[in-house]
Chain A
Amino acid sequence: MSSAGLDDKKLLRAFLEEAEELLEKLNDNLLQLEKDAGNPDSINEVFRLTHSLKSESALLGFTRLSELAHRLEDVFDRIRADHLNLSRPLMDAIFSASDLIHEIISRISRGQTDTEIDIRSVIGELQQLAGLGLGSEAAEPVEALPAVASAAESGELPLKSFQRSQVIEALDRGEKIYRLRIKVAEEAEPKYPRAYLVFNNLEMITNVIQTFPNMTAAQDDRLYERIVVLLSSDLPEEKIAAACAVDLIEEPELEVLDKGRIDELLSLREQGKRSALRASRSARIESTSVRVDTNKLNEIWQLVGELTIYKAQLSQLHDRLSRRRENESIKGEVERASDSLERITTEMQQAIMGTRMVPIAVLFNKFPRLVRDLSRKLGKNVELEIQGKDTEIDRTIVEVLSDPLTHIIRNSLDHGLEEPEERRKANKPEVGRISITAQQQGGKIVIEVADDGRGLDVGKIRKKAGIGAEITDEEAVQYIFSPGFSTKEDVTDLSGRGVGMDVVATRIREDLKGEVEVRSESGGGTLIRILLPLTLTILHSLVISCSGYFYAIPVQDIRETVKVTEQNTIIEGENEFYDYEGRKVPLLRLDSVLLGPTEESSSLGLENNGVVVEQRRGRVCILVDELVEEEDLVIKPISDLLNHRRLFSGVTVLGDGRIIFILDTARIIEIIESGGFDGI
């Protein structure tokens, strides 16, 4: 059946997704176990996860993968049952096994098979460290035998999913389902080889669905005294019984299961597994169960964009219509249609946007493992803190962001954090800290990676970039992002100067249209901040007009709309401020910034509309002619030709054809904070 399964690409894809999900959870739980070795929840969870992986991969005929998962399951079974100590070497072996599983899964996803992978050495190590396996002696006697054996006696062992399908397929082929019970004579020592002979004979002539105890991995020998086999075959009973004709095998007992028994068998589910699965599903934030081609999503997205435009068009028609006195009945109908369309469009926008967005956890979840492995290798003690895993981010961004972010974290560990010795001398806690946070702020995603290490060496950076004293330290450190910065010189000489950060910056700036900046304090650590746009986003915005042009400000950036008068304006030299509840907020005359200063703009009317905009770096009060309306805008990328000063984050067309420029408030505030618009 494995080959039939392999032909089915859908099945394979589903398997790969499931496997990746399992693997990720496996990793999380292993990391948890490393911190808290005896944690029963994690142990049980790992057991369940390896168990599922074993079954799922066996179903698709990935025998090596299944075997490996199986051995891992055995180890955790022992840990669970016997309170086997999770020693550090054992933990390492477990991690290597999980790495190997990862490798096999990536091979499979590349269309290769798992047969070329050598799993023996990893398994050998695992078994040795866990005191398992054929060659090793059972460390402790198994106490819980009678209970398990009685479950086997009744023959009511639940079927795993692939076994269930084996039963169903056998019935389809017209085979009968048999349950065979055999007993190995008491004098047989050890018992496993005898039982195995029978199993082997059966395998050759029938389809063995399930055995108890498990035959492919030897367990405590005493378990093999009684064996229950579930099999399917179209052979007559005596042929099957003949397979049991092995010395020291007593009382073969063969029964054909009738329909009632089979139904019963099929309905008997692994309850533990199912409830665990349900729990894990609900605990997971990710919704990775359907894979959709991004191009298809983009197509739908485009259509929704158009729909939004027509929605706006219709509502404008309605407005125009309602200004006239005639056609009352049509007016009502248009209104209802317009309302419905509006509601549906909005819901659709949100739903489709939802399909594009994934929690950043899909990316962040890799980092605990990365930090663990690297800190071990480097002999550093590191505590990793992750915040904002739920922050949603566009799928395509996640893919591109992975490498740069990994690089930044590596840098922090490798070059940022000091050796324990050095930290002690500097009166710092021996354990270094790295924190990764994500949050949405305004129309941007802000991701920060901070460490409490030695910080960047500003002197070296200045020397290397040839920066004069006129540039502040704060600005000088940004040079690590300049193209070619880290490749100019010998790589070994680069510690503490942000190796490869120029490459990181290029990817973030060019591929993701984001920004990256660094703050560093000598001896106090380094913070890298990445700002990413929420691409393909519909932004709820305030449309404003200014000197005949229309602009939009994302509502999420707006703190308040205000009336600006001479009374609440403060003038200091050339600078104007709005007195915002006692705080001076720079006043920005949008028209003079965008169109150049004019005579008119120099005087302030009696009462002007102002929009107070807030960003991380500060606030600004933007003076506008008119507050037009609030709208959901489909943001389109804007050509550099229309945006050479980068004051806009995008552009859009309204239903009536008006062109709206979306103001990049973060950039505007940044410009104001760093001295104004002159020369920009």
Chain B
Amino acid sequence: MGDKYVVFQIGEGHYSIPLEEVSQIIRYENVTDVPTAPHFVDGVINVGGDVVPVVNLRTRFSLERTEISRKNRVIIVQKQDLRYGLLVDSVQEILELDQDSVAAEAASVFGMKSEFVRGIAKIRDYLLVLLDIFKVLSTSPEIPIKE
């Protein structure tokens, strides 16, 4: 039995984070603008009374901002007391991955800096990047995630 991963798409790239890091997946609605946030934070969203920042992963990955469509989702991840929302282009599927099928050598794929990558897996017709999302979130806003 492998671990389960949530697969999502940003631009052309396929990324995933472990399902156990995800607390829920919601639509991009009622996002409130906030003062003094970094450029890639679109605002905050009220999730069960918690004020959760919404990180636009397109912007964080130095891609062009796009119009919000029906496909956009916000993946809520949680670490200790704090929750974060990740705005992604779309959520593809939930996938079970064997550790054997994951290449641990974190090669640079889609220009992603290797320190944010936990591994790469070949899925059917595409390459999947296993993201270290909390590392992405805790990295200073000035530091780009891609090379």
Residues of A with Cβ closer than 8 Å to B?
302, 305-306, 309, 547, 549, 594-595, 634, 636-645, 647, 651-653, 657-659, 661
Give complex CA distance A642, B35 in Å: 8
A637 contacts across to B, CB distance below 8 A: 81-82
Give complex CA distance A586, B141 in Å: 31
B5 in contact (CB, < 8 A): no
Is A641 a contact partner of B84 (Cβ separation < 8 A)?
A: yes
CB closest chain-B residue, reference A305:
B49
CB closest chain-B residue, reference A645:
B36
Give complex CA distance A653, B84 in Å: 16
B83 contacts across to A, CB distance below 8 A: 639
Is A641 a contact partner of B49 (Cβ separation < 8 A)?
A: no
21 A-B residue pairings within 8 Å (CB atoms): A549-B35, A595-B36, A634-B49, A636-B49, A637-B81, A638-B51, A639-B51, A641-B41, A641-B53, A641-B141, A642-B34, A642-B51, A644-B141, A651-B44, A653-B49, A653-B51, A657-B46, A658-B32, A659-B34, A659-B44, A659-B51
B30 contacts across to A, CB distance below 8 A: 657
B37 in contact (CB, < 8 A): yes
B106 in contact (CB, < 8 A): no
B36 contacts across to A, CB distance below 8 A: 594-595, 642-645, 647
CB closest chain-A residue, reference B30:
A657
- Leading 3 A-B pairs by shortest Cβ distance: A651-B51, A641-B53, A594-B35
Give complex CA distance A661, B35 in Å: 9
B12 in contact (CB, < 8 A): no
Give complex CA distance A661, B37 in Å: 12
B34 contacts across to A, CB distance below 8 A: 549, 642, 659, 661
Q: How far is the CB of B144 from chain A (nearest CB, A)?
A: 16
Chain B 26-63 interface mask (CB, 8 Å, partner A; 1/0): 00001010111110010010100111110100000000
B25 in contact (CB, < 8 A): no
Question: Which of B44, B51, B137 counts the most A-chain CB atoms under 10 A from its CB?
Answer: B51
Quick one: given A549-B34, A652-B51, are A642 and B81 in contact (CB under 8 Å)?
Answer: no
A309 contacts across to B, CB distance below 8 A: 49
Main secondary structure of the interface of A (DSSP, over half): mixed
Q: How far is the CB of B66 from chain A (nearest CB, A)?
A: 21
Q: How far is the CB of B7 from chain A (nearest CB, A)?
A: 24
Contacts A651-B51, A653-B51, A657-B46 aside, 10 further interface pairs with beta carbons under 8 A come to A309-B49, A547-B35, A549-B35, A639-B83, A641-B38, A641-B55, A642-B41, A645-B36, A657-B30, A659-B44
B52 contacts across to A, CB distance below 8 A: 639
Is B82 a contact partner of A639 (Cβ separation < 8 A)?
A: yes
Give complex CA distance A642, B50 in Å: 13
Question: Which of A306, A639, A643, A645 counts the most B-chain CB atoms under 10 A from its CB?
Answer: A639
Give complex CA distance A612, B46 in Å: 31
Give complex CA distance A658, B35 in Å: 13
Give complex CA distance A302, B50 in Å: 10
B84 contacts across to A, CB distance below 8 A: 639, 641
Give complex CA distance A652, B34 in Å: 12
Quick one: given A549-B35, A637-B81, are A659 and B53 in contact (CB under 8 Å)?
Answer: no
Quick one: given A637-B82, A639-B82, A659-B32, are A644 and B46 in contact (CB under 8 Å)?
Answer: no
Give complex CA distance A639, B38 in Å: 12
A652 contacts across to B, CB distance below 8 A: 51
A658 contacts across to B, CB distance below 8 A: 32
Q: How far is the CB of B15 from chain A (nearest CB, A)?
A: 19
B35 contacts across to A, CB distance below 8 A: 547, 549, 594-595, 661
Is B46 a contact partner of A659 (Cβ separation < 8 A)?
A: yes
Q: How far is the CB of B20 from chain A (nearest CB, A)?
A: 20
A595 contacts across to B, CB distance below 8 A: 35-36
Give complex CA distance A659, B46 in Å: 8
B81 contacts across to A, CB distance below 8 A: 637
Is A653 a contact partner of B41 (Cβ separation < 8 A)?
A: no
B51 contacts across to A, CB distance below 8 A: 636, 638-639, 642, 651-653, 659
A657 contacts across to B, CB distance below 8 A: 30, 32, 46
Give complex CA distance A642, B82 in Å: 12
B53 contacts across to A, CB distance below 8 A: 639, 641-642
Q: How far is the CB of B68 from chain A (nearest CB, A)?
A: 18
Q: How far is the CB of B72 from chain A (nearest CB, A)?
A: 19
Give complex CA distance A661, B44 in Å: 11
Question: Which of A547, A595, A642 counts the most B-chain CB atoms under 10 A from its CB?
Answer: A642
Q: How far is the CB of B123 from chain A (nearest CB, A)?
A: 30
Q: How far is the CB of A212 from chain B (nearest CB, A)?
A: 60
Identify which of B49, B55, B82, B138 contacts A306 (C-beta below 8 A).
B49
Is A641 a contact partner of B46 (Cβ separation < 8 A)?
A: no
Q: How far is the CB of B87 from chain A (nearest CB, A)?
A: 13
Is A642 a contact partner of B46 (Cβ separation < 8 A)?
A: no
Is B38 a contact partner of A644 (Cβ separation < 8 A)?
A: yes
Q: Which residues of B, 13-31, contact A by the 8 Å Cβ criterion? A: 30
CB closest chain-A residue, reference B80:
A637
CB closest chain-A residue, reference B79:
A639
Q: How far is the CB of A301 from chain B (nearest CB, A)?
A: 11
Give complex CA distance A644, B40 in Å: 13
Is B137 a contact partner of A641 (Cβ separation < 8 A)?
A: yes
A594 contacts across to B, CB distance below 8 A: 35-36
Give complex CA distance A644, B34 in Å: 13
Give complex CA distance A547, B37 in Å: 15
Give complex CA distance A309, B47 in Å: 13
Give complex CA distance A523, B82 in Å: 45
Q: Which residues of B, 79-100, contact A by the 8 Å Cβ criterion? A: 81-84
CB closest chain-A residue, reference B84:
A639
Q: How far is the CB of B133 from chain A (nearest CB, A)?
A: 13
Give complex CA distance A644, B44 in Å: 15
B49 contacts across to A, CB distance below 8 A: 302, 305-306, 309, 634, 636, 653
A659 contacts across to B, CB distance below 8 A: 32, 34, 44, 46, 51
B44 contacts across to A, CB distance below 8 A: 642, 651, 659
